Amino acid sequence: TQLLEQSPQFLSIQEGENLTVYCNSSSVFSSLQWYRQEPGEGPVLLVTVVTGGEVKKLKRLTFQFGDARKDSSLHITAAQTGDTGLYLCAVDTGTASKLTFGTGTRLQVML
């Protein structure tokens, strides 16, 4: 059983469309992070959410942490080809720098 389940697993959309990616768990977390990994690269941190119900915006990306701090969503408005990549949610379940990653959502944005 995965601690963090992401959905959908794969997403292929046209440029300009909107999309939402979900990260769900039955556990409560003090914070949650979202990463994007492009082909041939390591993951890059996009955002950390720490408060239940928190909404953070990063240009066209909107991140929300669930009220109960068990789930999170990432919404992309007007997707661009540069948004293509693997989106990963992660939590720090250990004492330090021990990240547990979600199953991942692979996004392909086409022209």
Joined tokens for residue 9? 């697993």
Does 96 participate in binding other proteins (rule CB under 8 A)?
Answer: yes
48, 62, 64, 73: residue in contact with other proteins (rule CB under 8 A): 48
Candidates 14-22, 59-67, 68-76, 98-106; binding stretch for other proteins (CB under 8 A)? 98-106
In 3D, which of 97, 91, 95, 104 has the Cα closest to residue 49?
91
Does 88 participate in binding other proteins (rule CB under 8 A)?
Answer: yes
DSSP assignment of 15-36 equals: TT--EEEEEE-SS--S-EEEEE
> What mask of x and - would describe binding to other proteins in positions 18 to 47, judged by CB under 8 A?
------------xx--------xxxxxx--
> Sign of dihedral through CA atoms 78, 80, 86, 89?
negative
Taking the complex as a whole, how short is the minimal distance between the CB of residue 95 and other proteins, in angstroms?
7
Taking the complex as a whole, how short is the minimal distance between the CB of residue 93 and other proteins, in angstroms?
9
Does 104 participate in binding other proteins (rule CB under 8 A)?
Answer: yes
Angle at 83 between CA 70 and CA 71, to 5 degrees: 5
